[in-house]
C-alpha cells in the first residue's frame, strides 16, 4: 500500500472534492468586510433548497453536536417536558443533552437497527399531552436507519402542539428534506458528512412556529442564541467570528450540488445504497437494517460468522480503506460503510471489491466477484 493512499469510507467525516479543497485554500479576507457580506449573500439562497425551506438557514461555527445543543437551548424552556425518540447512539445524544439541561425527558426507545413507527409516537403523545417538543434523528448514523420524518411530523402535529426537532447531521444534503412541506420545526445538519466539508460548521433552520417559541424562551444562552444569528444573518453577517475557510468551501459545495441537481444528488445516494446492500445480500451476509428502513448515506452490516473488527483491520492494513465499527453495545458486532457526499457508484464498486478480498483473507469462504456483480446489476438496472 502507498503510505499516503487512504480511502475514507466512514459515515463522516467524508472525502472532500478537490475543487472544494482548492476553494478552502484561498487567502483570508476581513470577516466584517464587504467581501464576507457578499459571500454570505451568495450562500444563503443556495442553502435553503437543501433544507426544503423558505426560512433562512443559520450558519454556526461548531460541530453537529453544537447544532443539537442549539436546538435544545433555544426551543425548550426549563420547565418543559420533551420526548426523545432513541433509535441509536445519536438519539441517545439528544436525550443526554436534554437531561443535562434538567429538562423533563421522556424516551421512546426503539431496538437499534429498526426505524420508529409513527403509530408508537402517536400512542406516546396521547398518553403524555404535556410534551412541548419531540426530538428525532433523520438518519441514525450508528445503525444506518432512516426514520420516516414526514410521517412523524404529521403525527406530532396532529396529536400535540409540540415542536418537531430533527437531527439531520448524517443525511441532509444526501436525501430529500422538505422541512416546510413536512412540518419539521427545527432541522439541523453538519458540514462533514453529505455536505462534503471538514467538520466545523453546523446549520440550523427553524419554522415560524419555532421562532415564536425561541423568541419567548427565557433560558439564558449566549454563543448558541439563535436570535443573534437571525438578526446578523439578515445583515449578511454573523454574531461571532465565522469559519471563513469553511465558508469558501461551502460556496463551492453548493455550486457542485446545483450543477448536479438536487434530485440527481438524491438519486445517486439511493443508487449507492442499493448497490451496497445488494453486494452483501449476494454473499448472504446479514444487514442490520431492513430495506425499507435503510439510509441512503450509510449501511450497517452485522456478520454472523466472521469478526467485524478483523475485516476492518485487514482492509485498512492492505488497502488503506477505513470503514467504521459499531458503537456502544454494537461495538465489535457490526461495521458501517459511509457512501455519502463526494462518493459515486465507482467508489462503491471499489469498496466492495476490497471487502471481498478482505473476507477471503480472514477465512470467510465467498465467491469472489459475486458482490461486485450484484452491485453492477443494480447499477445497470
Q: pLDDT, tens digit, for every residue of 157-203?
A: 999 999 999 999 999 999 999 999 999 999 999 999 999 999 999 99
Question: Above 80 in pLDDT, residue 334?
Answer: yes
- pTM, two decimal places: 0.97
Which candidate, 32, 102, 97, 109, places its Cα nearest to that of 68?
A: 97
336 is in an annotated binding site: yes
The second-level CATH assignment, the architecture, of 18-258 is 3-Layer(aba) Sandwich (3.40)
Are both 7-14+261-380 and 18-258 of the same fold? no
pLDDT band of residue 377 (cuts 50, 70, 90) is: very high
Q: pLDDT, tens digit, for every residue of 46-70?
A: 999 999 999 999 999 999 999 999 9
Mean pLDDT, rounded, of the chain: 97
> Does domain 7-14+261-380 correspond to CATH entry 3.40.91.10?
no
pLDDT band of residue 250 (cuts 50, 70, 90) is: very high
Q: What are the structural domain ranges in the chain?
A: 7-14+261-380, 18-258
Q: Are the C-beta atoms of 75 and 214 separated by less than 8 Å?
A: yes
pLDDT band of residue 24 (cuts 50, 70, 90) is: very high
Please tell me the predicted confidence (pLDDT) of residue 110: 98
Q: What is the mean pLDDT of residues 271-275?
A: 98
Is beta strand 163-167 parallel, antiparallel or unpaired with respect to 131-137? parallel
Amino acid at each position: 500500500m502507498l503510505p499516503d493512499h487512504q480511502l475514507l469510507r466512514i459515515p463522516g467525516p467524508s472525502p472532500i472534492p478537490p475543487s472544494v479543497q482548492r476553494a478552502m485554500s484561498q487567502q483570508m479576507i476581513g470577516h466584517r468586510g464587504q467581501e464576507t457580506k457578499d459571500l454570505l449573500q451568495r450562500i444563503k439562497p443556495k442553502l435553503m433548497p437543501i433544507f426544503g425551506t423558505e426560512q433562512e438557514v443559520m450558519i454556526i461555527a461548531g460541530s453537529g453536536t453544537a447544532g443539537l445543543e442549539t436546538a435544545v437551548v433555544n426551543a425548550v424552556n426549563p420547565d418543559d417536558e420533551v420526548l426523545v425518540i432513541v433509535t441509536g447512539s445519536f438519539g441517545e445524544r439528544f436525550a443526554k443533552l436534554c437531561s443535562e439541561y434538567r429538562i423533563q425527558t421522556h424516551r421512546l426507545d426503539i431496538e437499534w437497527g429498526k426505524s420508529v413507527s409513527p403509530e408508537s409516537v402517536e400512542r406516546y403523545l396521547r398518553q403524555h399531552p404535556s410534551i412541548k417538543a419531540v426530538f428525532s434523528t433523520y438518519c441514525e448514523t450508528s445503525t444506518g436507519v432512516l426514520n420516516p420524518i414526514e410521517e412523524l411530523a404529521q403525527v406530532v402535529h396532529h396529536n400535540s402542539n409540540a415542536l418537531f426537532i430533527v437531527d439531520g447531521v448524517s443525511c441532509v444534503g444526501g436525501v430529500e428534506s422538505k422541512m416546510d412541506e413536512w412540518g419539521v420545526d427545527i432541522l439541523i445538519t453538519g458540514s462533514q458528512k453529505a455536505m462534503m466539508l471538514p467538520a466545523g460548521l453546523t446549520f440550523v433552520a427553524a419554522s415560524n412556529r419555532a421562532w415564536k417559541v425561541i423568541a419567548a424562551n427565557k433560558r439564558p444562552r449566549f454563543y448558541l442564541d439563535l436570535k443573534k444569528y437571525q438578526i446578523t444573518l439578515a445583515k449578511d453577517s454573523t454574531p461571532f467570528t465565522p469559519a471563513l475557510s469553511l465558508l469558501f468551501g461551502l460556496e463551492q459545495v453548493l455550486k457542485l450540488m446545483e450543477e448536479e441537481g438536487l434530485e440527481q444528488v438524491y438519486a445517486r445516494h439511493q443508487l449507492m445504497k442499493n448497490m451496497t446492500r445488494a453486494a452483501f445480500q449476494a454473499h448472504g451476509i446479514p444487514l442490520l437494517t431492513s430495506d425499507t428502513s435503510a439510509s441512503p448515506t450509510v449501511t450497517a452490516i452485522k456478520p454472523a460468522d466472521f469478526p467485524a473488527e478483523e475485516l476492518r483491520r485487514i482492509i485498512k492494513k492492505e488497502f488503506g480503506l477505513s470503514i467504521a465499527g459499531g458503537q456502544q453495545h454494537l461495538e465489535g458486532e457490526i461495521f458501517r460503510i459511509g457512501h455519502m457526499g463526494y462518493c459515486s457508484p465507482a467508489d462503491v464498486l471499489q469498496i466492495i471489491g476490497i471487502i471481498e478480498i478482505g473476507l477471503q483473507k480472514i477465512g470467510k469462504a465467498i465467491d469472489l466477484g459475486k458482490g461486485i456483480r450484484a452491485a453492477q446489476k443494480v447499477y445497470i438496472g
